[in-house]
Amino acid sequence: MAERKNLKVLVVDDEQDIIEILTYNLRKEGYEVATATDGVEAVKIASRFLPDVILLDIMMPNQDGVETCRQIREIEELQHAFIVFLTARSEEYSEVAAFEVGADDYINKPIKPRALLSRIAALFRREIKKEQEVSKISVRDLVIDRSSYTINKAGTTLVLPKKEFELLYFLAKNPNIVFSRDDLLQNIWGSDVYVLARTVDVHIRKVREKIGDDYITTVKGVGYKFEQN
């Protein structure tokens, strides 16, 4: 992992006091910080600044955080940036929507700066651990390459969003083993992140849409497994 002083964070919120307190604490920890006050501005700044982490409010003027996240994930250079939602909303559908468009974490306001910094550090720790794993897995007509976050299926290159890729990679790395939704949440999103079990179902569905239905099997009442043969 790069030195913390070389890591960039984009803070996006329409409340100036939140921007100020997060910027102060992040810079104190050595992060380079840029800020935006609405979603449209955030996409423009993100495309130039290329942050490693984006702290993104959901309820903002001009464009909400969910749509902003979706647009950011379409920028090739930002597909693997960490996106952490900061929100005062507690409805289940808001959380599901956030993870559907590629969020890595979801934190309810009011924000505690020290806890937030800890969550960011945990994201990088998990990334280091994953980088140490075997980089390429070949199963039937799939080649899953973790070094480039790409999938080659019968000669065609596919690019999956980060969490979809990690879910597929984990299942393929452990073929013919049934994992519960809780197992997958723990291994893909980590114990520091609270994620609804439904999020796993959504990601599995999206992976199947891209690679086909004959790789990941649903074991009713238990969970999912990757079929090696």
Q: Give the list of residues 6+ apart from residue 224 with CB closer than 8 angstroms, or none.
A: 171, 178, 179, 184, 200, 204, 216, 217, 218
Q: Which residue has the higher pLDDT, 84 or 190?
A: 84
pLDDT of residue 1: 44
User: pLDDT at position 82, please?
Assistant: 92
Structure tokens at 57: 């409010």
Percent of the chain with pLDDT over 70: 91
Sign of CA dihedral 44, 47, 51, 54: positive
Q: Which domains does the chain have, with CATH numbers?
A: 4-130 (3.40.50.2300), 134-226 (1.10.10.10)
Q: Is 66 a residue whose pLDDT tops 80? A: yes
Q: Which pLDDT value is given to residue 116?
A: 92
Mean pLDDT (whole number) for 4-28: 91
Q: Does 3 have pLDDT greater than 70?
A: no
Residue ranges of alpha helices (H) inside the chain are: 16-28, 39-49, 65-73, 92-100, 113-131, 162-173, 181-184, 197-211
Q: Whole-model pTM?
A: 0.67
Residue 100 pLDDT level (bands cut at 50, 70, 90): confident
**The predicted structure's pLDDT at residue 2:** 47
- pLDDT score of 97: 83
Amino acid at residue number 198: R
Whole-number average pLDDT of the chain: 87
Mean local confidence (pLDDT), 48-59: 95
CA distance 99 to 102: 5
- Degrees (nearest 5) of the Cα angle 132, 138, 144? 60
Beta strand 82-87 with 53-57 is: parallel
Average pLDDT over residues 154-174: 90
